[in-house]
Amino acid sequence: MPFAGRHVVLGVSGGIACYKSCILARRLTEACATVDVALTAAATEFVRPLTFEALTGRPVLTSLWERGRALAHIDLAKHPDLIILAPATANTLARCAMGMADDLLTALLLARADRPVLAAPAMNDAMYANPATTANITALTARGWHFVGPEIGALAEGPSERPGRMSEPDVIFAAAERLRDSRTDARAPRPGARDYEPLERSDGVRAGGGGARARRRRRPRQRADRAHATGGSRDDPRRDDGRDAARTRVPRP
């Protein structure tokens, strides 16, 4: 299964595309992922938490103020292999770009450390084309966020020929798989990379080149060899040892 043993947090913000998030939650669960869903207050107006609980088999988070779960957003931010934000509305993207943490979902995203985020924007086409939204997406991309979509197609208000429609659940699922694979490859050792300490040769130089450290080790010997070849200098310890031996030699009777 593609997500076996993986933990995915699905963040759902308030937009009509929330119904697609239900399908995505089911796909992830069927792929053997452990899926925790976090809903904004606006999202609960479109889809009830009970729906996601039934689809994932896990409790759903909706508020920072739930009794007994005051630090749930911090705990969730520490452990997931992936956070998916779908739909990612213009409002939620703007708040995340500003670093706001005034509800459970934005607080979780701000506390996520280095956990990867995959966002699927969904909004009116004019809202998506607005320079403010473009700037927010650019800022989040610079912070390491990944985006899928939006697509061109019918919106809640009617047909559209510009991007704004949230990508289909299968497209988001495929993007999540690619992101998972890219992170797995990044953590894997490079082909031919050594995971052991190089052996030492008998002359003290590490096998495999040695670099600057090996050159430093060889320099004293090279200097001594040059000094010996030219007769040595007054500071050559070998000449000093020879003179000392000559001075202290006792003549034979």
Predicted local confidence at residue 231, as pLDDT? 53
CB atoms < 10 A from the CB of 237, how many? 10
Predicted local confidence at residue 105, as pLDDT? 92
Dihedral angle sign, alpha carbons of residues 121, 18, 67, 73: negative
Predicted local confidence at residue 176, as pLDDT? 94
Reported as a pLDDT band with limits 50, 70 and 90, residue 190 is very low
CB atoms < 10 A from the CB of 84, how many? 29
Q: What are residue 200's DSSP bridge partners?
A: 206
Question: Tens of pLDDT along 52-90?
Answer: 999 999 999 998 777 777 667 677 777 788 999 999 999
pLDDT of 211 > 90? The answer is no
Least confident of 18-27, 102-111, 204-213: 204-213
Cβ contacts of residue 248 below 8 Å, gap of 6+? Answer: none
Global pTM exceeds 0.75: no
Residue ranges of domains in the chain: 7-187, 211-246
Asked: is 7-187 a CATH 3.40.50.1950 domain? The reply is yes
CA dist 199 and 96 (Å) reads: 50
